[in-house]
Amino acid sequence: MFSSLNPRTKLIALFSFLAVLLVLHSFYASVGQEHLAIEIPPPVEPSTPTCTPQEVDLRKNVTSPGEDLDAKYGPTKQLVGAPTAKASDNLRKDRRYVTSGIKGGFTNQYINLIHIIYLGMQSDRTPIIPPFAPDDHIPHEAGIVQFGDLFNLTTLRKQVRTPLVEWSDVKILPNQDTPWEDIEKGRQLETIGCWSARPQHEHIPWTSGYLVRYLGMDTSYTRVPNSARRWPTEKIDIHVTFGALSALVNSQTYGNQQSSLMSSSPILQAALEPNTQLACFDLLYYATSSDVGYEWQSDWTPAWKFVGQYARFTSSIVRLTMGYVKHAFDIQRELPPFIAVHIRRGDFKDHCEPGYAPHACLAPLSAYIRRAEEVRQELHTRGILVGPTDVFVTSDEEDPAFWNEVKAQGWKFIDHSEELTVQKFNKWYPPIIDIVGQSLAIGFVGTDRSTVSMVSKRRVEEWNGGVSRMVKWGRPGADD
């Protein structure tokens, strides 16, 4: 039929058909655009981050909108209510808890407290964190310092996603400056059975005399079974393992672990089995996750990786320390990048290798100078310029000749006697300020086998992306 039409008619029909196609195309295109506008919203412009790179690094756990992890994991949800006269009255029946005594100086106590939290994570128990309390290096008149006064518990709870409470949340405690002789006056004594992690060849538990009295606890101790030890057949093995302790406190046969009473409570002479709701230990400093004893010397220690690195100092103690360090550098402006050097002497002179006198066994200042220069050069290769005298030194050395050598290098340090630090605060604060000062550095040089150096090294490396070295000692030329 189309072929019978004349050419003019054919041309008109073709143009008419094309016009229809054009109209249909425009119609469906407009409908399609309407549908696309409904189904696929326009792209959202990316927002500018409102936090610093360090804060971004801390936000490893994404939270649900509106979720308050501090409230969820804090005392409000973990305890019955406000602090009570007896701890047992404030522990929820549907919760289980874990705590420990403490010993040693500030950093050894810090490690013990981190171990409490890590064991709580492993055993699904709420850690109750004790305060720092006077012991080996700190006299009784210093009183106690609450963990939360120095470490940001809000940040820590959010990062580890584990319930955390302090003893001051649990029960009514004396004021921090209460004299030692008055610490038990007018208080209701509370008896409890705990575990002792002390090895078999020792006959008395580790005792945290000041802390136990401050908490108002009269404690009896049962020795942990051999299965909890790193090497169960070794009677003198000082270490226990987190896994075994977790199994111990959660076992259905909790009270039947082939263990024997080690000591009755000192005041009421109570002989109690270990408490099942509040699992408590005399000391957790020697706990380990493997057959390695002091695993904080290793980069992989889980207690640091899963807990310690998130225990950031509070802004108030950082501000206080910044003032001290700026004064040591004699500047008002922002601190320059600097290297912190921790030179441990003190009781290390009693741990020399056989046959060496202390003056020959302890590393000389020249060893720290050489290591500090190595750190400075490595930082320079990263584009971080540190002046040769931008070095902050902390040490327990009391010899004036030593400090004169430090001054001769142009290195900086805090003179706590001149600053009246003890008079302004207490005897805890000189070591605390020194340690917080170390954490502000971009480079670090420490003393091998010192727990202060071990932990500060980690803070500088992992918090600040810094560089570190450790100086060996024990015999002449140990660090050569």
Distance of CA 379 to the CA centre of its chain: 26
CA distance 132 to 112: 10
Q: Note the pTM of the prediction, 2 decimals.
A: 0.85
For residue 232, CA distances in Å to 134, 200, 226, 435, 439 come to 32, 10, 5, 36, 38
User: Residue 46: its pLDDT value, please?
Assistant: 32
The whole-angstrom separation of Cα 11 and Cα 3 is 12
CATH of domain 317-471: 3.40.50.11350
The residue ranges of the chain whose pLDDT is under 50 are 1-3, 5, 10-11, 20-63, 255
**Cβ–Cβ under 8 Å, residues 454 and 438:** no
Q: What is the pLDDT of residue 254?
A: 53
Contact indicator for 100, 129 with CB cutoff of 8 Å: no
H/E run at residue 19: helix 7-39
Q: How far apart are CA 259 and CA 106, in angstroms?
A: 32
Predicted local distance difference test score (pLDDT) of residue 43: 32
pLDDT computed for residue 227 by the predictor:
92
CA separation for the pair 79, 170 (Å, rounded): 7
> According to the model, what pLDDT value does residue 49 have?
32
For residue 418, give the amino acid letter.
E
**Among the listed residues 208, 205, 237, the one whose alpha carbon sits nearest the alpha carbon of residue 222:** 205
pLDDT at 7: 53
Report the pLDDT value the prediction gives residue 60, as an integer from 0 to 100.
Answer: 38
Give pLDDT, residue 75.
96
**Mind giving me the DSSP string for 74-102?**
SHHHHBSSS-BSSGGGGB-TT--EEEE--
Supply the Cα-derived Rg of the chain in whole angstroms.
Answer: 32
For residues 325, 417, 473 and 449, what is the CA-based torsion angle, rounded to 10 degrees? -70
Residue with tokens 């005041």: 267
Phi then psi dihedrals of residue 332, to 5 deg: -105, -25
End-to-end CA distance of the chain: 107
- For 154, other C-beta atoms within 10 Å of its C-beta total 17
Buried b or exposed e, range 194-232, using 16+ CB within 10 angstroms: bbbbbbeeeeebbbbebbbbbbbbbbbbbbbbbebbbee
The structural domains of the chain, with segments of one domain joined by +, span 69-310, 317-471
